[in-house]
Amino acid sequence: MTIQQYQKDCFKNYKSSIGYPAEYKYFHGTPINVLVPIETESNKAMIVGAYPSAKFFTINGIADTPVSDNDAPFSDESYFDGSRVRSIPSGKELNEVILRQIGIERKDCWITDLVKVFLFKEGHVDRYKKLGKNDIEENRSKFEEYGKKSMGWLEREIEICQPSVIILLGMEVTKTFFGLPEKMAKDYLGGEIKTEQIRGIERKIICLPHPGILMKKTERNPWPYRFENEISIKAKKEIKKLKKAWR
């Protein structure tokens, strides 16, 4: 299967395969589409996030209202939200907080999400209700359910990409990917190489904290310090060895 064949199949059939409500739309009726991988470098690094963010606008004084899809997984585009120019943080966080510190350039990555559609948190639903839209229910809590149903799609991407290393971002992705309890999944986020048989082939995997949590530099959050002084160093050392085979 070619990359384009996979993209078309995923775009058309993904939502129904995981049970995502077909009738869900953004505030103005804009469809919630499947964010298929767009940056698809093969044989090097595959980056797997949790699920896509969206573009948020200020509508009738209500800020941070989701209104449309991003352009791609971990997009770093900028746009005007009705009151100010803003950028989508996930792309910048990936570039500057993760890739730069572990020694990988974005051009050497296949970038994707485990769950490939936007998920609504309670706050998003509340904003919609204030604006008179009452046909959306919270589904962020269904991440694990959707993630398990998404594993077959991710395995197909891995077959096409043939990555030398798969980088999982965050506890939830790691938990779902390996089928681990939450505490053990957190213990996996150390930057070391793990291995897993995927469709008969042993794959090298590195699990890292999600970039979002690394941006929250507070005294009660140990992850930014651990990542800078321990986790990223281990990961960079492992990746340096793997990069010798990249072309």
| Predicted pLDDT of residue 81 | 77
| Predicted pLDDT of residue 83 | 79
| Predicted pLDDT of residue 188 | 97
> Which fold does the domain 3-242 belong to in CATH?
Uracil-DNA Glycosylase, subunit E (3.40.470)
Per domain, the residue ranges of the chain are: 3-242
pLDDT in tens, the chain (247 residues): 899 999 999 999 999 999 999 999 999 999 999 999 999 999 999 999 999 999 999 999 899 999 999 999 998 888 887 778 887 778 888 998 899 999 999 999 999 999 999 999 999 999 999 999 999 999 999 999 999 999 999 999 999 999 999 999 999 999 999 999 999 999 999 999 999 999 999 999 999 999 989 888 888 999 999 999 999 999 999 999 999 888 7
| Predicted pLDDT of residue 85 | 84
| Predicted pLDDT of residue 31 | 94
| Predicted pLDDT of residue 222 | 92
CA dihedral (87, 88, 91, 92) positive or negative: positive
CB environment 35-74: b (16+ within 10 A), e (fewer): bbbebbbeebbbbbbbbbbbbbbebeeeeebbbbbbebbb
